[in-house]
Amino acid sequence: MIGGDLKVRRMGFGAGRLVGPNFYGEPDDPGRARSVLRRAAELGIELIDTADSYGPEINERQIADALYPFSEKIVIATKAGYTRPRRSWTPDGRPEHLRAACEGSLQRLRLERIDLYQLHGPDPNVPLEESVGTLEELRREGKIRHIGLSNVNTAELRDMRKIASIAAVQNEYNLVRRESDDLVDACEAGGIAFLAYFPVDAGALARANGALKSVAAQHGATPAQIALAWLLHRSPAVVPIPGTSSVRHLEENVAAAEISLTKENLAALG
């Protein structure tokens, strides 16, 4: 449950891989990108994550072009707080930027209200409470339904919850990158969804050996599927959002939700 009223299946989809390399520019095959999004909906994925900086702007348009009008079950989560000058990632958490970004996302996604609007990351030049306060104003104005934070730590989450109701946190988290362990626990305790991006370590875990490969063999699965299954076992708050531009990989990712890991499997994975 996101924000107490948005029920989604626990395998989401990170749509950013559908644009060009490093989340920049048009994809080589726009038709394939459209097919992946439509297949995601067919497979029952209900949470689709994007950002205005993916492209920039291209990814949000892709989602609308492929899936509009959206099913009642589809939850669109987008983000603001970065610009992409010369392909770089430049934080911009100024209130005026966030307001303009929200309006742009509403137009590109063809929505009257965004289900989950996330601050893409703290801007070191803007007080975090100022950025989050702007999202709270947008929520009160009816332009967003729920507020999310991305790339934050436990202390920042605690402090921002004093300013606004936080429905979700999105950080990098996977079998080998567990710096957000305490944040996962805090989200579970607080009834906050934890969206895990790079859940297979940007593809590295798909090629893993050792315990991951051994457990995968026991289940007749791929290492990437076991890495996703581990996240689902880690906490009921975790929603992995693997991204891919391949229908085959998309189908493999969704199938990972059916894998039931044993206590021995979890112990082996550490």
- 82 is a catalytic site residue: no
Q: How far apart are the first and last CA of the chain?
A: 28
Q: Which two tokens stand for residue 38?
A: 């439509």
Q: What does the DSSP assignment read for 82-133?
A: EE-GGG--EE---HHHHHHHHHHHHHHHT-SSEEEEEE-S--TTS-HHHHHH
Neighbour tally for 31: CB within 10 Å = 8
Q: Strands 90-91 and 82-83: what pairing?
A: antiparallel
State the Cα–Cα distance between residues 25 and 238, nearest whole angstrom: 30
Residues 153, 124 contacting (CB under 8 angstroms): no
Looking at residue 174, the DSSP 8-state letter turns out to be: -
Q: Which of 24, 54, 68, 117 is catalytic?
A: 54
Catalytic residues: 54
